[in-house]
Amino acid sequence: MPAPSAGINLLPKTEFETTFWGRFIKWAITTGRYMLILVELVVIIAFLSRFKLDKDLANLSDSINGKKSVLEAASASEQKFRVVQARLNAAGSMLDAQLEARRTMNTITGYTPPEVNLTQIIIQPRQVTISAKTGVQTGLAIFLSRLTADPVWKSVDLTDVLATPTQGIQFTVIAKR
């Protein structure tokens, strides 16, 4: 095995190499160049990544503009849809009210005996006002007992009663829910 070679420096050290500035210049020449190369690599990588980031930004901008135009085009049909939906909700609530009125009318006419003639029915959300005539008192009693027996009505009040020999008994009933 050959013996390791010893480094031989034939240039004598100068007095400048032993001072602070001399050591600093020696360090800057040796280690500083590696740092400079590293910084240059970071700058080059940042420069090259800028192209990719610009391309991504352009693609995202195009995508956003495309989706924005689709949303703007769909906004008119969405407005129409919302208007139609509001109309359908209003029509549905009106139909529900009509169905409720129809059920109430069917219930009241089902409770009405044959000798009682209904003259007016006013249906409101919480109460029903019924005006009717009858020729006999039993018809009025049967009608009131049937209404009060129904659990739908919280209270049934006989408000106006007028008995005349020519027209019979005219009365008004207010049934509250």
Please name every residue paired with 169 in a beta bridge, in sequence order, or none if there are none: 134, 163
Which listed CATH number (3.30.1330.10, 3.30.70.270, 3.40.50.720, 3.30.1360.100) goes with 112-176? 3.30.1360.100
Q: Measure the CA–CA gap between 156 and 174, rounded to whole angstroms.
A: 6
Please name every residue paired with 132 in a beta bridge, in sequence order, or none if there are none: 118, 171
Percent of the chain with pLDDT over 90: 18
Kindly report, as residue ranges, where domains of CATH 3.30.1360.100 are found in the chain: 112-176
Q: Is the pLDDT of residue 43 over 90?
A: yes
pLDDT at residue 45, rounded to an integer: 93
- Lookup result for tokens 């280690």: 31
What does pTM read for this prediction?
0.49
Measured CA to CA in angstroms, residue 54 lies from 43, 62, 117, 154 at distances of 17, 12, 86, 74
Please report, as a single letter, which amino acid is at residue 151.
P
